[in-house]
Amino acid sequence: MNNTDINSFVSLLIENNLTHLHFKNKDYEIELSKEPGQQVTVSQPTKGAETTASAEQFISSSLVGTFYSAPSPESNKFVHVGDRVTPETVVAIIESMKMMTEITAGVNGRIDAVLVADGDAIEYGQNLFRIVP
């Protein structure tokens, strides 16, 4: 995989307003991610290297609405990158049709990345957090 290939993946990520892109073939694996307003980070394991990319999981939105990382603007965030979570841990609130719905982790693990920003409009099934078991 050369720099032209990587630049093509970065362009795909940016042009389609994606926050995460994972590509794997028999020889290479590349993972691109960015948080809104941030630079793209590239993780490119060497050829034949063992990776944990397949072990990562995502917490996704169960509804369309607005993402909030804290119960109120004055409160601390539910979770931060690096925090350990259990299936019952509340990680965010989604406001939909003037109702607030708590989003729980649903898995055991550690928050590896927050993929959306406070106040973002989100879609059903959109990945909100990346979790490493």
In tens, the pLDDT along 47-57 reads 444 444 447 88
In tens, the pLDDT along 77-115 reads 999 999 999 999 999 999 988 899 999 998 899 999 999
How far is 92 from 59, CA to CA, in rounded Å?
10
Residue type, 26: K
Nearest alpha-carbon partner for 67 in 123, 1, 105? 123
Give the model's pLDDT for residue 24: 74
Q: Give all domains of the chain, ordered by start, each with its CATH number.
A: 3-51 (no CATH), 57-132 (2.40.50.100)
In the 8-state DSSP scheme, what is residue 72?
A: S
